[in-house]
Amino acid sequence: MVYPVSEGFLHAITTPHRVRVQASLIRAGATVINELPIIDGNITVDSNAFVRRSLSLTLPPEIPTSTYTSGRTDQVILTTGDEIRVKWGLVFYDETTEWVPVGTFRVDTVPYSATLDSAVTIRGVDRCADIVDDDFPQPRTFEAGSTTALIAQLIQETLPTASVYNRTTVRDERVPTLQYDGSRADLIQNLATSIGAVVHCDGFGDFIIRDAPTLDDEAAMILRTGDGGVIVSADTDYTRDGVFNRVVVRGESPAGDFSPVQGTITDDDENSPTQFGDRLDGYYGKITKFFTFPNITSILQAQTVGKALLAKYVGLSAAMRVSSIPLPHLEAGDSIIVVPDDAPAGVSARKHIVDSYTLPLLAGGDFTMATRDVRETFKEAEWEDLGEWA
């Protein structure tokens, strides 16, 4: 979900503006260094990965540790538990700054410059990486209970002080008694998928349980090309690889706790480029993908999950690479509307789902997004009603 920013932020970001980025060193929850001296860097956010945020941060080989002292970067920043918290700020004309939190990262790699004459690039990942590391050492049995409560429990078994927020509007479901062995992260993702949700770390480093993106989500932003727009360039690849326009979700309990159920969701939107139907009659075709979950117990639950899963596969037929003005408040998985600037009469604006983006940490860097075209949204005549972002 897009991070809430002010109307002033939205206006200023489309005009010439100044940027300030702050990276702080955090150790055991306390700030050790408030502002690291950034030379270069970027943050990648990928909605298709459980560990969705990653950091590449270039620093000098020595960094200040106080007013009068400095230390070798690899001795000041440690891989034994340190984190780097990053904020992206837009500076207004009155010199005030509106900040957007863009990630809290576990330090994974700190290079060593033996001659102290070359910059070092630190790499980090969000706190979901700790969940990936913490596999179950032996089979576990989980008793019936709330899906979201079990997800929170599994996260806080690994990181007891982590904050977990349930922001779903989908219906929570009872988890049938199940036994699980192996990956903690896989179990969390399977549980979330079974109720039509996703789990990820946000810009603060908190764990969020939220509704999975669907084709019906309201657009977070409206972006346009050409003069006055925020899009610098946009290129599209067309393919049929990996595209499905019907999803069948089945619930089958290995223990026989409930009767098998099934839900089917089809891309039947006439404005979708992948509308289900006879290809020889002008439709995209009939391509079905099947999923089975041991904890889906009702047709309604299966349909909710199918709706979220369908959104992952339609639109792959038209994948777009977009370069634009940096949009740090965007979240991977958000929907955007792309409005052509000089389109001929009758050409439609298109709705896209943002799969991933890379945010530069220096002014002037390239902000790139990978998106999927999922449907036509409105005709040219309606563009004038879209407000400032159009």
Q: Quote the pTM value.
A: 0.87
- Domains identified in the chain, total number: 4
Please check whether residues 147 and 285 belong to one and the same domain: no
Q: Which of 101-115, 299-313, 334-348 has the lowest mean pLDDT?
A: 334-348
3-state secondary structure 11-60: HHCCCCCEEEEEEEEEECCEEEECCCCCCEEEEEEECCCCCCEEEEEEEC
36 touches 84 (CB < 8 A): yes
Please check whether residues 203 and 345 belong to one and the same domain: no
Query: Helices 147-158 and 184-193: crossing angle, nearest 10°?
Result: 160
Residue 216 lies in a domain: no
Please check whether residues 226 and 354 belong to one and the same domain: yes
Which of 124, 140, 159 is the last residue before a domain boundary?
124
Please check whether residues 52 and 92 belong to one and the same domain: yes
Residue 135 lies in a domain: yes
Residue pLDDT, tens place only, 343-352: 544 556 778 8
Q: What is the pLDDT of residue 383?
A: 41
Which of 312, 336, 356 is the last residue before a domain boundary?
312
Closest CA to 11 of 228, 227, 335: 228
Please check whether residues 201 and 227 belong to one and the same domain: no
Residue 1 lies in a domain: no
Residue pLDDT, tens place only, 206-229: 999 999 988 888 888 888 776 667
Residue 63 lies in a domain: yes
* Mean pLDDT over the full length of the chain: 87
Average the pLDDT over 280-289 and give the result. 93
Average the pLDDT over 295-305 and give the result. 87
Instruction: Give the whole-angstrom CA distance, residue 150 versus residue 356.
Output: 28
Please check whether residues 41 and 153 belong to one and the same domain: no
Please check whether residues 53 and 111 belong to one and the same domain: yes
Residue written as token pair 């970067």:
73
Q: Which residue has the higher pLDDT, 326 or 68?
A: 326
Instruction: Give the whole-angstrom CA distance, residue 293 versus residue 295.
Output: 6
Residue 104 lies in a domain: yes
| CA separation, residue 359 to residues 50, 87, 198, 294, 319 (Å) | 18, 11, 22, 38, 19
Residue pLDDT, tens place only, 315-330: 777 778 888 889 999 9
Whether 5 has a pLDDT exceeding 80, the answer reads yes
Please check whether residues 110 and 12 belong to one and the same domain: yes
Tokens of 218: 């309201």
Domain ranges, residue 51 = 7-124
Q: What is the pLDDT of residue 238?
A: 81
Q: Which of 1-15, 85-99, 229-243 has the lowest mean pLDDT?
A: 229-243
Please check whether residues 280 and 201 belong to one and the same domain: no
- CATH assignment of the domain containing 344: 2.40.30
